[in-house]
Amino acid sequence: VLPFPSQVIYNRVGKCGSRTVVLLLKILSEKHGFNFVTSDIHNKTRLTKNEQMELIKNISTAEQPYLFTRHVHFLNFSRFGGDQPVYINIIRDPVNRFLSNYFFRRFGDWRGEQNHMIRTPSMRQEERYLDINVCILENYPECSNPRLFYIIPYFCGQHPRCREPGEWALERAKLNVNENFLLVGILEELEDVLLLLERFLPHYFKDVLSIYKNPEHRKLGNLTVTVKKTVPSPEAIQILYQRMRYEYEFYYYVKEQFHLLKRKFGLKSHIGKPHPRPEFFIPSPLETEEPIDDEEENDEKWLEDIYKR
C-alpha cells in the first residue's frame, strides 16, 4: 500500500486551466472527504520572508488531509523547518497562456460576468482595446519582458533572481520540478494529466476523469473560456517567441518529462488533430533521442520515493 500524502499543494499557474481543475476539486473534496483549502488572494504570487513564514504556518496547520491551492510561486517549506508537501501543477504553451491572459484581463470569459471591469477598473478604454499586434511590435510593457517571464517563477520559487529572465531561474525551476513536484502536466493533454493524478493521488482524484467528461461539468468548464481572443500576426508571434525563449525551454522540458511519465505508466497519447494555434509559427526544439525503456523499474517504488520527499 502506498503511503497516503496528506498534504498536497497545487500552486496553480494563471490561465493554465486552473479554473477547470478547481471546479473538479470542489466536487472531489465533497466526494472523497478531503479538506480543500483555497485562498481569496489571487494577485500576490511573490512574498516577503515573513509572508512566506505566515502562509506556510497557515497551510501546515490546516486539517489533514488537505489540498491547498493558490496562485503563488513555489514555497520551500523545509527552509522554515516544515514538512515539504507534495506539489502538483499544470502549464501550457507560453504564447497561448499569454494571449489568454491578455484578452481575459480586458474582456473576461463566457460566464457573462463583468469581472474584467472589476479586475481592471483603472484600465483606460484605449488600453482595453489596444491591438495585440501593436502591443507586441511597439514593445508595450505588457507585451515585453519581464512581464512575459511568468511560468518559470511558479517553479523557481521566492528568491529575487527567480523573477529575472535567465538561465539561473530556468535551471532552478527544472531542479524543483524534479525534486519537489509529483506531477507537472500539460494543459493541451489535460485528460492524460487527470488520469495520472488519479493514479498517483487516488485519495484525492479517484473518478476525476468521469466527472470531467460529464456533459454538465463540461458545460460549466466551457464558460471559463476567454472571449474576444485573436491570434497575432506571424511576425508578432516570432517576436513573442524570442522574448519568451526561457519560458519555451522550460515548457519543452516539462512536456518531455510528462511524456516520459506517460510512457512509464503505459499511457498513449490520444491527441486529435490540433486547431491552428499560435505555436504553428514557432519552431520546435530539436527532438531528443528516445530513451531506452527499463522494464525492471518498479513504478510503485518510484511513487513511494516521491511521497517520502
Cis ω on the peptide bond leading into residue 65 (within 30° of 0)? yes
Q: How far apart are CA 92 and CA 244, in angstroms?
A: 13
Peptide bond into 146 cis (omega under 30): yes
Sign of CA dihedral 65, 69, 74, 75: negative
Cell numbers representing residue 243 in the block: 522574448
Q: Is 15 left (phi over 0), alpha (psi -120 to 50) or beta?
A: left
- H/E element, 10: strand 7-10
Q: Is the dihedral of CA 285, 87, 172, 159 positive or negative?
A: positive
Q: Which one, of 189, 182, 195, lies nearest residue 269 by Cα?
A: 189
259 to 75, 184, 266: CA distances (angstroms)? 26, 11, 10
The DSSP call for residue 109 is: B
Helix (H) or strand (E) holding 135: helix 132-137
Compute the distance between CA of residue 271 and CA of residue 238 in angstroms, rounded to an integer.
25
- Where in the sequence numbering do the catalytic residues fall? 71
| Residue pair 109/17 in contact by the 8 Å Cβ criterion | no
CB-CB contact of 206 with 24 (8 Å): no
